[in-house]
Amino acid sequence: MSEQYFASSPQSSHDMKTLNLVFEGCVFQFDTDAGVFSRDDLDKGTALLLRYTLPHLSGKVLDLGCGWGAVGVIIAKLKPQCRVTMLDINERAVSLARKNLEHNRVQARVFCADGLKQANEHFDWILLNPPIRAGKQTVYRLFEESAGRLSAGGTLALVIRKQQGALSARVHLETLFDFVSLIARKSGYHIYFCRRGEHEV
């Protein structure tokens, strides 16, 4: 079986690549490598998640499953008032994320960890493109850990494709959050905002 991007210590041979991306009129440079998610380009689902979430972000923001750092870097650049944290289980991805912060001259905290079990803080926003190939148990665990690490009124923003279980995921999310809103549906991708608090998203 080929190595998956959610492996903690990828053993595949390095195959570095540089991507030049334009997002919201701003130019970004990213290094990617073998053994990480979507090494050849910004994943379409991630791009949609960013597009629909970016205008709303404030406070402490977590890029959960940051990969090579696209979400965290772009937020740090375009929303400098946010305090960004980036986290991934993949050591190679975390190393790339740190390099890409430097390339784009922005700052964020970056950690290597398996989810939020050891997190000791709360966030106003958590952004997640869940690792579907890691399996439903892992994906739902990340939902549950996110629910426990949101500040009062905080929001989990996530993207998931219909064919990858978006509808059943929503049913589970509604057991964890007070409000679950479908913010957008495009090309089979569903963007959900999930909030714990008194007011709907």
Decide: pTM greater than 0.85. Answer: yes
| Sign of the alpha-carbon torsion through 146, 174, 49, 162 | positive
Q: Specify whether the CB–CB gap between 123 and 150 falls below 8 A.
A: yes
How far is Cα 138 from Cα 144, in angstroms, rounded to an integer?
10
Comparing CA positions, the residue from 133, 153, 154, 157 lying closest to residue 143 is 157
Of the pLDDT bands very low, low, confident and very high (cuts 50, 70, 90), residue 115 is: very high
Of the pLDDT bands very low, low, confident and very high (cuts 50, 70, 90), residue 13 is: confident
Q: Evaluate if residue 1 carries a pLDDT over 60.
A: no
DSSP assignment of the chain: -PPPTT-SS--SPP--EEEEEEETTEEEEEEE-TTSTTTTS--HHHHHHHHHHGGG--SEEEEET-TTSHHHHHHHHH-TTSEEEEEES-HHHHHHHHHHHHHTT---EEEE-STTTT--S-EEEEEE---GGG-HHHHHHHHHHHHTTEEEEEEEEEEEEGGGTHHHHHHHHTTT-SEEEEEEEETTEEEEEEE-SSS--
Q: Evaluate if residue 201 carries a pLDDT over 70.
A: no
Mean pLDDT in residue range 161-173: 93
Comparing CA positions, the residue from 1, 2, 5 lying closest to residue 133 is 5
pLDDT at position 21, please?
94
For 74-104, write each residue's pLDDT tens digit. 999 999 999 999 999 999 999 999 999 999 9
Of the pLDDT bands very low, low, confident and very high (cuts 50, 70, 90), residue 14 is: confident
Of the pLDDT bands very low, low, confident and very high (cuts 50, 70, 90), residue 4 is: very low
Q: Which CATH architecture has domain 44-195?
A: 3-Layer(aba) Sandwich (3.40)
Q: Specify whether the CB–CB gap between 174 and 191 falls below 8 A.
A: no
Mean pLDDT in residue range 107-121: 91
Q: What is the mean pLDDT of the chain?
A: 91
Q: CA angle, corner 71, sides to 123 and 194, nearest 5?
A: 45
For 53-73, write each residue's pLDDT tens digit. 999 999 999 999 999 999 999
Rounded percentage of the chain residues whose pLDDT exceeds 70: 92
Q: Evaluate if residue 192 carries a pLDDT over 50.
A: yes
How far is Cα 194 from Cα 189, in angstroms, rounded to an integer?
16
pLDDT at position 3, please?
44
Write down the domain spans for the chain.
Answer: 44-195
Q: Evaluate if residue 10 carries a pLDDT over 60.
A: no
Q: Evaluate if residue 171 carries a pLDDT over 50.
A: yes
